[in-house]
Homo-oligomer: A and B are copies of this chain.
Amino acid sequence: MNGKVISNSCIRRLPRYYRFLGELKSKGVLRISSGEFAKKTGLTASQIRQDLNCFGDFGQQGYGYNIELLHGEIGKILGLSTPKKVILIGVGNLGKAVAQHINFESMGYQLVGIFDKKESLAGQIIRGLPVRNVSGLDEFCREVNPTVAILCIPKDAAAITVNQLTGLSVKAFWNFSHYDIKVHNPDVIVENMHFGDSLMTLSYRLNNQD
């Protein structure tokens, strides 16, 4: 990447590019100009060119982008072909929805373990995996070495669990809890799914329409 610093916003747009190109690819479309690409994603052509230029020279003057090639390249940049072992903690409605709803495999993730503290859930099968009691988390991580944990648990439980897991093999969290992991663990990789923050942002926009 030529030592360039890639902006956060650019990184966040890559999955969108990847999704769009994947759809076009599945429809058998072979190439797309940056103008059409922009129209379909609601961005500007120069934004897209600028983003993609951070990672390499993908377009061709007068031809546009080769969809299959660019889709593959963005997939590589996103690390989707690198297998990552994931555990999910907390099997309420949300945890269950995440376990069943997400196509982990297509993004290079492999769900290897599901945990809950409720004894009554132990052994229940979700997506082909038995729910395990969190008491076995340490041993499981030492054996299986998952690198990602999905937290679908309340804030206080999340604080304890993050402490426990960062001492083991886990390097990254997909965080649905309200616990601000980064504040206490600045070196850990975190993606937050803050439902409440998103809903408050929506409220702001509704309240501040022109």
- Measured CB to CB, the residues of A under 8 A from B are 11-12, 14-16, 18-19, 40-42, 77-80, 82, 84, 92-94, 96-98, 100-104, 107-109, 147-148, 171-172, 174, 178, 180, 182-183, 186, 189, 191, 193-209
Contact = CB atoms under 8 A, between A and B. Distances in A.
Contact of A97 (B19, B96, B203): B96
Contacts of A180: 16, 41-42
Among A182, A200, A204, max chain B CB count under 10 A is at A200
Nearest to A95: B97
Q: What 3 A-B pairs come out closest when comparing CB atoms? A: A79-B207, A93-B97, A15-B197
Nearest to A202: B191
A206 B96 contact: no
B199 A12 contact: no
Contact of A196 (B19, B84, B171, B197): B19
A43 to B, nearest CB: 9
Nearest to A6: B208
A94 B171 CA distance: 26
Given A82-B203, A204-B11, A209-B189, A183 B148 contact: no
Nearest to A41: B183
B197 A195 contact: no
Contact of A203 (B41, B102, B109, B196): B109
A15 B108 CA distance: 32
Given A42-B182, A196-B102, A196-B103, A78 B15 contact: no
